[in-house]
Chain A
Amino acid sequence: MAIEGIRRLLRLPPSETQARRDAADEVAFHVETRVETLMADGLDEAEARRRALAEFGDVSEAREELTVIARRRARRERRSAMYERAWTDLRQAWRSLRRDPLFTLGVLVTLSLGMGVNVPMFGVTDRLLLQPPPHVEEPDRVVRVYFGYQDAYVTGLIVGFPYVDYVAVRDGAPALTNAAAYCQPAEHRPNAQEVRQSRAHAHRPQRCRLATSGQHGTPIRVRRDRLENACVLQRCHLIRGGWHVAATACTPDRYHALAVREGERREHHRLECAVYRRRRPDTQRERCGGKQEESAMPYARPYRHPQLVQHQVPHAHPPAT
């Protein structure tokens, strides 16, 4: 009731509920007034009411019909009021802008700058964060493979792993297809300790890269001693003093996928992996009692570095396929 009062005060059109109530009240007023008139002419109330209703016709249908008309009018008035307000605002804005040209210029410059900055920023954000990487089919199936390690004191993940572990993943992990690895010795010069460690494990520690196909969708070709047409997706850094890092990379199947998860999509995938157990030279075997695990993390962020990398697979191991 208070709301309707405010509506009347502000000259707003009635709501649909009010329109229905008004229609009912109007019909009731007519019938009651007719009943009173007939009673004044000498009829009893029941007879007067019966006659009044008969004269009126179908009351409920009339109410419905009046409500429909009132509702239509209310909608039209609302729309008309909205246009009128918008037109008034526009006229007022136009007058204000004409009165103060300097302010108008400031507004225009601010708006132009705001839009001009936002458009490229949105483009960059969209490309980097929202869109999947180009030339990669089903990017949500592309995962990067990590190795977990656990000893008596420390538990953690290793961002890269030796070539022999890669071979184990490629051949032994049933949840993955076509695991492959490559490395780029040119960009990393191992220090003495790394060289010593790599010799101890029959391979060289390398800085590794996560790769996808080359530009324009050219498929990666895995050669015996190099990887062709590969664009770097992600750089994997060597863990100094930790497990040796050879390489890990993930691309879709058609590009000689390095690690693509099969089957259902799961955010975090952990499974027993037939990977050679490895331990640091200075760690006793008993302290590495924990099992090594493989966890596959979904890889969806696009990393684009249009850099062609050279691949150097240790000759002691078979080439990646």
Chain B
Amino acid sequence: MGDRDMQLLQGTLDVLVLKALSPGARHGYAVARWIHERSGEELTVEDRALYVALHRLEDRGLVESEWGISENNRRAKYYQLTAAGRKQLGERSALWERYSRAVSRVLGQRA
């Protein structure tokens, strides 16, 4: 994959992570599983990229984290959306839908 593709994926990953956190706080592993399952097992996020994205979003103030105990009784770091993150998710989702519709329209047209 070229750099431009990577940038596109990175931007997409941020929206996916924000969306995964919209129902409530989750740890990184749960976010990865949620994206995998909700995409019909089509999308598999590389774990390292996922955690980097989570930390980057936290760095930008879009998510916040807190340590807690996981379902398997381990110490885990839980992430949840901030108000800024929720707003960003709305904007990015709308943008992505417009983009997606536009691409679909182009691809759906017959030559």
Contacts and interface: CB of A to CB of B under 8 A. Distances in A.
Interface stretch (A22-30, A159-167, A259-267): A22-30
A55 to B, nearest CB: 6
Contacts of A36: 72
B1 to A, nearest CB: 15
A32 to B, nearest CB: 7
Interface residues of B, number: 21
A57 B47 contact: yes
B52 A33 contact: no
B86 interface: no
Interface in B1-40: 27-29, 32
Contact of B74 (A29, A58, A72): A29
Contacts of B105: none
Given A29-B70, A29-B76, A32-B74, A69 B47 contact: no
Given A33-B29, A57-B47, A26 B74 contact: no
A34 B74 CA distance: 13
B74 A65 contact: no
B30 to A, nearest CB: 9
Contacts of A65: 48, 52, 55
Interface residues of A, number: 23
Contact of B52 (A25, A32, A34, A66): A66
Contact of B48 (A22, A25, A61, A69): A61
A62 B51 contact: yes
A254 interface: no
A36 B58 CA distance: 28
Contact of B75 (A29, A59, A69, A72): A29
A66 B70 contact: no
A61 B46 CA distance: 14
Interface string B52-92: 10011011000000010010101111000000000000000
24 contacts: A22-B67, A22-B77, A26-B28, A26-B51, A29-B28, A29-B29, A29-B76, A30-B28, A30-B32, A30-B47, A33-B76, A34-B29, A34-B47, A36-B72, A55-B47, A56-B46, A59-B48, A62-B47, A62-B51, A62-B52, A66-B52, A69-B55, A73-B55, A73-B59
Interface of A: 22, 25-27, 29-30, 32-34, 36, 55-59, 61-62, 65-66, 69-70, 72-73
